[in-house]
Structure 1
Amino acid sequence: MALSRLLLLCMLASEVRYAETKPIDFVCSRSARRAMNIGTEMETALNNCNSSAILPAPVQIPCTELHVASWERKSHHERRQDISASLKPLLESIKVARSLDQAECGSVLLQKLEHNINSYLLILTHLQLSDQKGPVESSELSCVPRSTLSLSTVLLNYRRLITGKLERLMMSLESTCAPQRQDEHQ
């Protein structure tokens, strides 16, 4: 019980630092992106949970496959849509799993993951892209959706999405950062 409360306190405290991140800060600062990527931290927290890593409902895992040549041909807008199209169904299925009765530790992890996904979606929505034609629209997934009951599989695929597609999008946008701003945030 004490471990669960400590875990909850640490997770809530870490959320505060993400609240101040602006899209431009996120793009221009690799350290801000590393700080917001909680995948490894959550995998470690899951290993410290005494509860089962089995979710009460299936969760759709994000599309992480990345064919570099075809990814590079996509516009920034298309890349953002691809990432958002993976995050939105993940978020919705996590909300469903979290609403069902489960162990406290697993529920705290799902809540933390839900907040983190929402933060990424807000950043993606508010990114100023030079090739943008309008707001992020619904887009098709770049893979056939799969679901799992394993929280560790969800976390692994989420981490792959963030360190793969999302990081590649941010790196391609770094050229829009002012030189002094890049130096301040790296």
Structure 2
Amino acid sequence: MVASELSSVQTRPIDFVCNSEARRVMNKVKDLQEEMKDCGAVDALPSSIQLQCVGIHKPTWERKSVHEWRAEILLSLGTLAQDVRSARTLSQPGCRLNLLERLERSINNYLHVVRLLHIEQGEQVVPQAERCLGQPSKDLGLVLKNFGRLLTGKLEWLIAEMAKGC
């Protein structure tokens, strides 16, 4: 399943960390946004998706350990995957269903890679992440934008810290 949309990219976590091109190719948000435009009026979802907190308050974020960053990102991705799955099961066959399937697959790819990231430094106990949720939304365009910001924000901060070992 992880390699389902990663035809030319190695799916090893070290490649994800050390190769920005692999991350760029893996990020399907822009493709999904373009496909959504081509589909027409598919942005209204059958159920709400809880938007994740994607903003970073730099002083607070920097006080957290890399383990806490990963736990927070995993919680955000897991919650998003669950909500997208719920919306997908309520969708009729067609363009929106296809978009939700691809979005869910993309989120699950990220979940898989982030779970496998090997973090050596600091504590080995996985901390309990704070649940930080924004507003619920039935707007697929807003969900995609929020997911993209999670990837280019919090996830890239984690990767930048881990890439120091490349």
- TM-score normalised to structure 1 length: 0.81
Residues 18-167 of structure 1: matches in 2 within 5 Å?
Answer: 20-130=10-120, 131-134=122-125, 136=126, 139-141=129-131, 143-167=132-156
Give the CA deviation at 1:55.
0.4
SS at 2:7's partner residue?
helix
Contact 2:42 2:140 in 1 (8 A): no
Q: Gaps (5+ residues) in structure 1?
A: 1-12, 178-186
Aligned length: 163
Give 1 or 2: higher helix fraction.
1
Per-residue deviation, residues 113-156 of structure 1 (Å, max 9, x unmatched): 1111111111111111023514x565222x34421000000000
- Bigger shift: 103-112 or 88-97? 103-112
CA RMSD of aligned residues (A): 1.9
Per-residue deviation, residues 146-180 of structure 1 (Å, max 9, x unmatched): 21000000000000000000011101111111xxx
Per-residue deviation, residues 38-66 of structure 1 (Å, max 9, x unmatched): 11111111111034210011111122011
CA–CA separation in structure 2 for the residues paired with 1:108 and 1:55:
13
Sequence identity of aligned pairs in percent?
39
CA–CA separation in structure 2 for the residues paired with 1:88 and 1:53:
22
Q: Gaps (5+ residues) in structure 2?
A: none
